[in-house]
Amino acid sequence: MSLLLVACGSTVAQTGSAPRAPGIESSGYVWNQPDPDKDAALAHRPDIEKGKIAYEVCQGCHQPDGAGRADAIYPSLAGQHASVLIKQMMDVRAGRRDNPKMHPFVGEWVVSVEDVANIAAYLSQLPISLDNGKGSGNRLARGRELYDNDCASCHGDNGEGRAAEFYPLVAHQHYAYLYKEAVMIRDGERRNANPKMVVVIRDYSNEDLKAVSDYMSRLALPAAAGR
């Protein structure tokens, strides 16, 4: 039986509960392994205008401009790599990433594979918000040290990420979101996490995670940086 779910100001038809696919807790887990729906979305030639229309179901949480909400820990999506957005939406949809609040909005009864690709393409070309939430600024030197030593090789010197490798843009992202996700990755609670990152941050204290998250939230993306 379908239910009507009201969240973030949007009403969406929900069918069933979120699935639970094997994740990092499972023996033989392979990060970013092939998935028919994800691969189809990546191969789809996106339509930006259709993506704008399909994105309307997401605006209640992520805002019309894709800037998210720092106070509610909804990430900024504007300017994010389309490949990253597709992967994360499909991971939530398949149950590799647990997000009960988001799952009803990316289910196949709401958006098609093509819609996912179109939404990702639309978001990727939106201007990045420069008014993102930031931390206290008290330990930026430590945050920079950690980022330069452990994070820049994947996420880039300016936080630009790497689209081809599905490494997200972290520059201009909300501090609270970066910190929350880092804690979940370190503690094994984000089940679609990259095992390489888990190893890198497994000995980070909460204060270290706060410092590096604060530093990342303040990174500025040059206009020409590998987008």
Residue 59 lies in a domain: yes
CATH number for position 61: 1.10.760.10
Same domain, 103 and 146: no
Stated pTM of the model:
0.92
Same domain, 39 and 116: yes
Residue 148 lies in a domain: yes
Domain boundaries, position 85: 33-124
- Would you state the structure tokens that stand for residue 113, as one six-digit string? 């594979």
Same domain, 153 and 120: no
**pLDDT tens digits, 49-107:** 999 999 999 999 999 999 999 999 999 999 999 999 999 999 999 999 999 999 999 99
Residue 14 lies in a domain: no
The tally of domains found in the chain comes to 2
Burial of 50 per CB tally in 10 Å (0-12, 13-18, 19+): middle
Residue 169 lies in a domain: yes
Low-confidence ranges of the chain (pLDDT < 70): 1-16, 224-227
Chain position carrying tokens 């820049």: 152
